Structure 1
Amino acid sequence: MAEAHQAVAFQFTVTPDGIDLRLSHEALKQICLSGLHSWKKKFIRFKNGIITGVFPASPSSWLIVVVGVMSSTYLKVDPSLGMIARINRTLDTTACMSCQTKNVVSGVLFGTGLWVALIVTMRYSLKVLLSYHGWIFAEHGKMSRATKIWMSMVKIFSGRKPMLYSFQTSLPRLPVPAVEDTVSRYLESVRPLMKEADFQRMTVLAQDFAVNLGPKLQWYLKLKSWWATNYVSDWWEEYIYLRGRGPLMVNSNYYAMEMLYITPSHIQAARAGNTIHAILLYRRKLDREEIKPIRLLGSTIPLCSAQWERLFNTSRIPGEETDTIQHLKDSKHIVVYHRGRYFKVWLYHSGRLLKPRELEQQMQRILDDPSEPQPGEAKLAALTAADRVPWAKCRQAYFRSGKNKQSLDAVEKAAFFVTLDETEQGYRPEDPEASMDSYAKSLLHGQCFDRWFDKSITFIVFRNGKMGINAEHSWADAPIVGHLWEYVMSTDCYQLGYAEDGHCKGDINPSIPCPTRLQWDIPEECQQVIETSLNSANLLASDVDIYSFPFDSFGKGLIKKCRTSPDAFIQLALQLAHYKDMGKFCLTYEASMTRLFREGRTETVRSCSMESCSFVLAMVDPSQTVEHRLRLFKAASEKHQHLYRLAMTGAGIDRHLFCLYVVSKYLAVDSPFLKEVLSEPWRLSTSQTPQQQVELFDFDRNPDHVSSGGGFGPVADDGYGVSYIIVGENFIHFHISSKLSSPETDSHRFGRHLKQAMADIIALFSCTANSKK
C-alpha cells in the first residue's frame, strides 16, 4: 500500500500538547508538480489559440503593422485617409489624455483595426482559393499555367509554419449537389447491376423523386448547409454510428497491424513501454498542435484536421436509444488489462512523462502480479462487445455509484486502453496464412472480453512482443489512427530503440508507485448479463472469416509505369476477382475522404461502373484481344478516377441521398425511392489505408520494415470487406473478411482470385511491352 500513503498529503493527531501535524513532502511535491503541469498545458492551449486565431498572420505581425502606421504618422504621412484624425477627435471627448498620448492611442487603434482587416481579408481570400477544385480533375503530371498561379496564391495566403488547426476557418463548406445531378449519377451507377425491367422501374421512381419530393427536401438541406459547418458529418455520426444498437465489435470497430516481418523486441513489457511512450509523445505533439496539417498537391492544399481532436481521452458511452461520445481535454492515466484484471497506471511522475524503461517497469509489475480476478471482472468488457441496449441498462443499474463507478470512470476517462495479451501473434514464415489470419482475428475481436471496444483506441501487445490497435469508429475515420500508428512504429524502431538485451533503454525507477488494481463489486444479476453478452459476441466472432496476406509480386512502382492509378488498378482487380468468385457484379463501396471541406469525413465511390463491367467481361472472354482489353481497362480506370474525384470534391451520391432521407424522416414523409436506395446491400465494401508520412520510413535501406495496414469486418452477411495498404514501390497488403455462415463467400477463395486478377491485369501490359519490343 505504498501508493496509498503517498496519496495523503498530510496527517494529524490530537495530543495533550496540541495538534501534531506531519506533512508528506513527497505528496506535496507531486501536487505542486501536477499543478504546474496543468497550468503549463493551459498556457500552451491559450498561446496556440491566439496563434491559430490570427492565422494566416502571426502575433508579431501586429507589431509590424502598428509600428508602420506610427512611423508614417510621425513622417506626416496619413495612411488612414483621415481615420486616425477621427479617432483622435473622439478621444478628445474623454479629456483625460495628453495630445501625444491621444496620437499614440489613435495610431495603435487604427493599426490594430487594419491588422484585423488584413487577417479577415487573407482568410476569406484563402477560403475562396480553396473552394476551387479544378486542379484535381487535371491529367496526372500535367499542370496548366493557371493552376500554377493558383497554387502560388494559395501558398502566399497560407502563411508560414501552420499549426494543426490553422486552416480550419479557411476551409470551404461542403457543397450540396443538385438533386437532378445526384439522381442521374445514381441511375448511372446501378445500370449495370439491374435487369432492364428493374432499371426502368427505378428510373420512374428516381425521376418522380427529382421532380416532386426531392426539391422540398433539398430546400431544408440547403438551409442546413448555410447554418451548419458541415451538412453531413453530425447526422452521419449520429445515425450511422451512435444510434446503431448492434455490436461495435466486428461490425464497426477496425484494427491496425504493425510491421509485418520485423519485431524490434520480443519482450512484452519492453515493447509496451516503448510504444506507450511513443503514443504519449504523439499526444503531447497533438496537445501543442505541433503535428503538421496534411496537405495535398506538393504540401499546398490543406485537409481538415478536426478529427484529431478526439483521438485521446475519449470513450463511447452506451445509451438505450443512442450512444454519446465522452471526450476530456486531458487524462493522466491509462488502464491496462491483463489476465482478467484491470490496472490504473499513472503516466506522470515528478511532473514529467514516464520514460520508456519506467513504463516497461510498470507493465512488468502488472505481468508479475499474481492476484486473481474479482467475481465478474475477468469478462466484464464483453458488455462492450455485444448489443448496446443490454450494456446501457447494465451500466445504468450497476455502475452508477460506489467502487464500480470509480473503476468504470477510470476506464472511460483513461487516455487510452491497453491489453497485455497472453497469446502470441504475428507473421510466421513456416505457416504464413494461419498466422496472419489469427493475428487479424485477434486484433479485430480477441476473446471478446479482453478489449474495451468503447475506447477510441485499444492498444494491444502480445506475449511475443507483437502489437496492434483496435479502434472505435464513431469519433473519426481510419486515416487519423493510421497517422498516429505510423509515428508510433517509426519512433519505437528508429528513435527510441532497445538495449542489446531487448529491454527499453534507460534505468528503472523504484520510487514510482505501483499500478493500482481497479476494484469491482459486480452482483450476480450483472454477471448473468455479462455471460449473455459474451455468448452473443462469441457467436459473432466465430463467424468471421479473415484472410490477411502480403502481395509482393509487384507494387505501385510497376503499376505507375503502366500509366495508371494504383488505386484504380486494384479496384478493377477487385471487380474481376469478385466476378470470378461469384459469377456476377455487385454494388461496390469504396471509401473516399471529403476532408478538403471543413469537418468533412467520407463519401462513397461506387466502383462498379458500366466501364468496369465491360472490362471484366472482356477479361473472362477468351476471344477478346489484349489490345481491346487494354482499351477497356483504360476507359474503366479513367472512369474510376473521375468518380473518386467527384466524391472528394463534394459531388458524390450517397451522403447527399442519406441526408435527404434524414430530412424526409424529420418531415414524416415517405419516399419509396430513398427507402429502396438506402436498403441496397454493399456486398463488396473496400477501403485503402493511406500511408501519410512516407518520410518516416526508408524502404530502400530497410525493405523489410513494411506495415501490414489494417482491416475491418464484413459489411453484408453474404459479402466481402476488403482493405489494402500500398507500401513503398513493391508491396501491397490485403485484408479480406466475410462470414463463415454464408454459403456464397470464402475469404481465401476470394484472395486467390484477387492474386490471379492482379497478375492477369499486369500481364496485359507485359504482353504489349513485349510485342512492341
Structure 2
Amino acid sequence: MAGIQRLVTAEHLRSNLRCLQVASSWRAFQSFRKSSTSSDYIQDSIVPTMHFQHSLPRLPIPKLSYTCRRYLKSQEPVLTPEVYAATKKIVQDFEKGEGNSLNSQLIAQNKRNKHTSYISGPWFDMYLESRASIVLNFNPYMAYKFDERPEYNDQLIRSSNIVVSAMRLMKTLREGKLEPEVYHLNPKKSDTESFRKIARWMPQSIAAYYAILNKAFPLDMSQYFRLFNSTRVPQIGRDELVTDDSGRHLLVVRNGHYYTFDVIDQDGSIVSPADIQANLQYILNDNTPRPDAPVGYLTAENRDVWANVRTKIVDTSENNAQVMKMIDSAVFCLCLDDTSPDGPEDMTRNMLYGDAAYRWFDKSFQIIVCKNGLMSVNFEHAWGDGVAVLRLFNETFKDMNERPAVSPSSQPSNTDPSQGVNRLTLDLEPGVSNAINTARDNYEAATSKLCIDAYQHMDFGKNFLKTCKISPDSVMQLSFQMAYLRMTGQVGATYESCSTAAFKHGRTETLRSATQETTRCSQAFLKDSSASLEEKRRLLQECSDIHNQLTKEAAMGQGWDRHLFALRTLAAKEGKTPAIFADPAYSFINHIILSTSTLSAPAVLAGGFAPVVPNGLGIGYTALDDSVGCNITSYPDSLNASDFVACLIDCWKDIQDVLSKTNKQ
C-alpha cells in the first residue's frame, strides 16, 4: 500500500452517506443488545470506534488552475502534439470561462453541505443509476489465503469459523469496541498505548486534529455501517441501498436454494459455534434437487429488468414479500459451493462470478467457501470502498487463525437443525420463471467471454526494490506501461485508484500513472533503444519520483478526475456540456484501457475484477516481499491477456537486470 491507503479493487462505487445514519444505525442495534461475552468480540479498543469521525477534515476542492494543469499533464503522453494543442486551448478557455463559474457553484454547494464531501453524493449516484449488471461491471473479489493447518480448510470447519468471526467483527463494530481506522505515519510515536489513552479523552470535536498533530491520520469510517444487514435493492432508474440492522439471521445460498438461521440470539449474543456448525452441516447435507429457475440469476441482470421482475415477485404473495425481506436484512450472504477450483483461472472464474444459483450479488458482501476450503469475499461495490472491505477481510482472517471457534475435533450440537434452519421458497409465476431463464442465458453469454491469465514472478519483490530505493508500486505501474507500449506502440489510458479516506466522506481519487516519465522510460527499454544502462537507471528513478508525487497528491484529494467529474455533473444538471467534456480527448482518457489495482495485503491469496471497457484489461497485481504477480482479465475485443502477461514478464526481467547491475556499481 502507498499513500494514505490504496484501494484493493477496481473502482466502482458511490453513495450519500451521513454520520447521522451511522449513529442511528448503531442506536437501533443497541436496542436489542442485552448481554455479551468476551468471545463475542475481536478486540476492545480503549478509543471508541467513531471517536475521530466528527472532527475529520473535509475533502478539499482543488484549485481549478491546479486541476486544469494536472489534467493536461495526464493528457500529454496519450495525445499527439496536434491533438494536445487543441485540447490545451479548450482547457484554457474552460478555466477562464464556464469552468470558473461552475467551480464557484461547487464551492458554494460544498459550504452548504459541511456534513459530507463534495464528491460523495454525485459519486454514489453515478453508480446507483447505472443500469448495467453489477456482475463483471462492478463486483470484484478477494480470496483468502488457505489456513496453514490443512485440517482447518475443511468446508464445514472453515465456513463455521468465518461466520463466527464475522459476527464477532459486527458486534465489535456496532458496540464501538473496534479500533478506529488510523494510518500511522510514525508508528513509534502514535501507534502506542499512551497516544490512545490521551486520544480517548480528547473531545470528539478535536480528536482527529490531535491525531494528525501526532502524524496519525484517522480514516473515514462512515461506510462501515453498510457492511452488515445491507443490500442493494433494484429500482427503476436508480437503485437503493437498504440497511436493516434488526436482522439477526444469516443468508446461506447453495444449489439454487436460500436458507436462513439466526446467528445472533434474542439477547444480542452470538449463537454458539456448535449450533452454527450443526446448521451449516444440515444445509450441506440437504440433497433437495436444484430448482429449475434459481432466482440468483436475476441479481446479475440489467438493473431495470431486475427491478421490474422483483416487483412482480414481491407483489405475487405475502410469502414472497417476507422472503425478499429476509434476504435483504440478513447479516450477510454465505455461499457454500460444490466446486473445488484448482489454479488461478478456475479460482477467478468461480469467485468473480461462478454459478449464479449459488450467489446473491446484491448483498453488501458474499463470503464464498468451496469444497476444498478456498474462500473469498465477493462484494457489491456501490455502498463503499476497499478500506471497509479490507478491514473485514483482515480482521476475520486474523480471528479465524488465532481464535477459531470450531476445530476438526469439534462436534456439532445435538439440537435439531431442521427447527432452526428455514429454507426459503418463492411462489414464482410463469412470467418470472421465463425472466430467470432469460437472465441465465444473458449471464452465461456475458461471463463466457471473459479471458483470464495470471502469473507469479519469484525473481524479485518489494525487498529488492527497496534496496534500490525504488517504489515497488511505481515499478508495477511502469511495467504495465512498458508491456502495453511493446504490444501496441501506444500509451494506454490507465487508472489506479487511491483512497481519500483521510477526509470526511472521502472516497477515492484516480492516480493517472501513465506519464511523460513512464513513456520515456518505456521507450528507453525497447529492444532497438540506444539508451545506456545509466540512462535507464535514471529514468527508473524519475518514474518512481513522479509516481510518489502523484500518490501523495491523489491521497490528499489533489487529483483532477473527481473535481472535473463534479463540475461535469453540475453542468449536466443545467443542461450544459462545456467544450472540455465534449472534447474527444476527455472521452479518450476516460476510456480506461488499463484498469489496475494492487492486492498486496498479507491475508490476500489473490483477487480480481473484469475490464471496465470491452477492449481493456483488468489488472489485479501484487508486490510481495520476494515476488510480484498479476491476475489479468480481458475480453475478445482486447489484447490477448496471455500475450500481455508474457510481455510483462520480459519487462520485469529487463527492469530487474538494470537495477541489479546498477546496484552493484
TM-score range, shorter chain: 0.7 to 0.9
2:295 aligned with 1:380, yes or no? yes
- 2:227 matched to which residue of 1? 311
1:607 alignment partner in structure 2: 513
Alignment of 1:262-661 (within 5 A): 262=148, 263-296=150-183, 297=185, 298=187, 299=191, 300-349=216-265, 351=267, 352-374=269-291, 376=293, 379-400=294-315, 401-426=317-342, 435-496=343-404, 499=407, 502=408, 505=410, 507-510=412-415, 513-620=419-526, 621-661=528-568
Structure 1 residue 197 displacement after superposition: 1.6
Match of 1:730 in 2: 626
User: For residue 383 of structure 1, what is the amino acid of its counterpart?
Assistant: L
Alpha-carbon distance in 2 for matches of 1:313, 1:678:
38
- Given candidates 596, 604, 611, the residue that maps to 1:686 is 596
- Is the contact made by 2:259 and 2:421 (CA closer than 8 Å) also made in structure 1? yes
Q: Which residue of 2 aligns with 1:754?
A: 648
In 1, Cα distance between equivalents of 2:353 and 2:291: 23
- Read off the aligned partner of 2:541 and give its amino acid letter: K
Residue 162 of structure 2 aligns with an amino acid whose one-letter code is T
1:167 equivalenced with 2:159 (yes/no): no
The Cα of 1:371 is off from its aligned counterpart by 2.4
Amino acid across the alignment from 1:450:
Y
Measured on the aligned residues, the alpha-carbon RMSD in Å equals 2.2
1:331 shift after superposition: 2.0
- 3-state SS in 2 of match to 1:586: coil
Residues 532 and 511 of structure 1, relative CA distance in 2, 3 Å threshold = closer
Tell me how far apart the structure 1 counterparts of residues 33 and 432 of structure 2 sit (CA, whole Å). 40
Per the alignment, do residues 671 and 38 of structure 1 end up closer, same or farther by CA in structure 2, a change over 3 Å counting? closer
Distance 1:648 1:565 in 2: 16
Equivalent-residue separation in structure 2 for 1:368 and 1:238 (angstroms): 42
**Is it true that 1:712 corresponds to 2:609 in the alignment?**
yes
Report the structure number with the largest CA radius of gyration: 1
Contact 2:262 2:420 in 1 (8 A): no
In the TM superposition, what are the counterparts of 1:656-675 in structure 2 within 5 Å?
Answer: 656-675=563-582
1:582–1:291: structure 2 CA closer, same or farther, 3 Å change rule? farther
**Contact 2:221/2:388 (8 A) holds in 1:** no
Cα distance per residue 1:407-451 (max 9 Å; x no partner): 11111111111111111124xxxxxxxx21111111111023321
How far residue 483 of structure 1 moved from its aligned partner, in angstroms, is: 1.6
SS of residue in 2 equivalent to 1:219: helix
Residue 254 of structure 1 aligns with which residue? 140
Structure 1 residues 733 and 334: CA distance shift in structure 2, 3 A? farther
How is 1:181-196 mapped onto 2 (pairs within 5 angstroms)? 181-196=66-81
- The one-letter code sitting in structure 2 at the alignment partner of 1:508 is S
Q: 1:756 aligns to what SS in structure 2?
A: helix
3-state SS of paired residue (1:348):
coil
Cα displacement (A) at 1:534 = 1.4
C-alpha distance in 2, partners of 1:327/1:350?
Answer: 19
SS of residue matched to 1:722? strand
In 2, are the aligned partners of 1:267 and 1:465 still within 8 Å (CA)?
yes
Distance 2:372 2:238 in 1: 39
Could you tell me whether the CA contact under 8 Å between 1:708 and 1:725 is conserved in 2?
Answer: no
Tell me which amino acid in the other structure corresponds to 1:736: I
CA contact (8 A) 1:374 1:520 kept: no
Q: Distance between the aligned counterparts of 1:301 and 1:215, measured in 2?
A: 32
In structure 2, the CA distance between the partners of 1:495 and 1:551, relative to structure 1 (3 Å rule), is: farther
Equivalent residue of 1:199, what SS?
helix
Q: Which amino acid aligns with 2:550?
A: L
Report the secondary structure of 1:708's partner residue: strand
Distance 1:406 1:387 in 2: 24
Q: Go from structure 1 to structure 2 and tell me whether the alpha carbon gap of 1:348 and 1:714 turns closer, same or farther (over 3 Å shift).
A: same
Structure 1 distance, partners of 2:264, 2:617, is 44
- CA distance in 2 between counterparts of 1:769 and 1:630 reads 10
Deviation at 1:526, TM superposition (A): 0.5
Q: 1:411 is matched by which residue type in structure 2? A: I
Corresponding residue SS for 1:536? helix
TM-score by length of 2: 0.85
CA gap of 1:589–1:37, structure 2 versus 1, over 3 A, is: closer
User: Given residue 495 of structure 1, which amino acid in structure 2 is its aligned partner?
Assistant: R
> How much has 1:514 moved relative to structure 2?
3.4
1:254 counterpart letter in structure 2: P
Measured after TM superposition, the shift of residue 374 of structure 1 is 4.8
Contact 1:658 1:678 in 2 (8 A): no
Q: CA deviation at 1:163?
A: 2.3
For residues 549 and 528 of structure 1, the distance between their equivalents in structure 2, rounded to whole angstroms, comes to 41
Question: 2:491 & 2:147 partners in 1: Cα distance?
Answer: 36
Q: Structure 1 residues 443-452 or 593-602, which shifts more?
A: 443-452
Residue 200 (structure 1) aligned with residue 85 (structure 2) = yes
How far did residue 264 of structure 1 move?
4.7
Once the two structures are superposed, residues 580-632 of structure 1 have per-residue CA deviations (whole angstroms, 9 ceiling, x without a partner) of 23321111111001111111010001100001100110011442111001111
Structure 2: distance between partners of 1:421 and 1:411: 18
Report if the CA contact (8 A) 2:146-2:374 is conserved.
no
Please tell me the residue identity of whatever aligns with 1:469. Answer: V
**Could you tell me how far 1:668 is from its partner in structure 2?**
1.4
| Counterpart Cα distance in 1 of 2:565 and 2:364 | 25
The 2-side partners of 1:332 and 1:260 are apart by 28
Structure 1: 5+ residue runs without aligned partners? Answer: 1-35, 45-159, 427-434, 695-705
- Percent identity, aligned pairs only? 28
Distance 2:461 2:78 in 1: 30
| Amino acid in structure 2 at the alignment position of 1:41 | R
Question: Which letter does structure 1 place at the counterpart of 2:224?
Answer: W
Which structure has more relative contact order (CA 8 Å, sep 6+)? It is 2
1-side partners of 2:249 and 2:563: how far apart?
41
Q: Is the 8 A contact 1:710 1:723 kept in 2?
A: yes
Secondary structure of residue in 1 paired with 2:145? coil
For 2:92, give the aligned amino acid.
Q
Contact 1:449 1:534 in 2 (8 A): no
Separation (CA, whole Å) in 1 of partners of 2:406 and 2:35 = 34
CA distance in 1 between partners of 2:644 and 2:405 (Å)? 39
